[in-house]
Amino acid sequence: MDRAEFAARIDHTVLGPTTTRSDVERVLDEADAHGMNACIPPCYLSEAAAYAPGVTLVTVVGFPHGTHTTAAKYGEAVDAWQTGADEVDVVLNVGRLKAGDDAGVREDVEEVVAAVPVPVKVIIETALLTDAEKHRACEAAAAAGAEFVKTSTGFADGGATVDDVELMAAYLPVKASGGIGTYDEASAMLSAGAERIGASSGVELVEGFPDGA
């Protein structure tokens, strides 16, 4: 993998509650300059699509807790796609999963997958789950037709781990997200089976790519 291929696997992210339009434009500029994707709040999609038409735009649905109604998630996904999102990251309903309602979890994701003709990644929030629950979450995401599973929102304690990526990669391509701040950390996730990296430090990751690698 060369630097450009590595950069293309990074979703350079800004999703905090105080995110401004200037924050989003900075991330878009950095993504464009380094060949990364950009993961941004849905409220800025329209401006982002006009500002950086060459950047792949990722946004979030049911964020950050996944407790929105299925109808709300469906509507969010449709609006995001119509406003310019190239990919959607939806938060799984962790409470329903913990209660054993795997069918409800699957149906929730199915509706989002059906809503849009773009890739859907399911954030399972690994820090809140047991290993058995992680398996069930991935099974539900796969059965629902999602294209990826993603480790974390970044808003719960804990983030991506090599062990979690290895577990999840048995089901679907993995987006490792949460606490990845260096090239070495990102490389470890890719070696464990991740196909995509979500990070607010995308520039540092790309610039850390070893010369000659």
Q: Which residues carry out catalysis?
A: 89, 150, 175
DSSP for 44-80? Answer: GHHHHHHH-TTSPEEEEESTTT--S-HHHHHHHHHHH
Name residue, tokens 């049911």.
Answer: 62
Strands 87-91 and 174-177: unpaired
Pairwise CA distance, residues 13 & 141, whole Å: 23
Q: Is 113 exposed, middle or buried (0-12, 13-18, 19+ CB in 10 A)?
A: buried
Tokens of 1: 């993998």
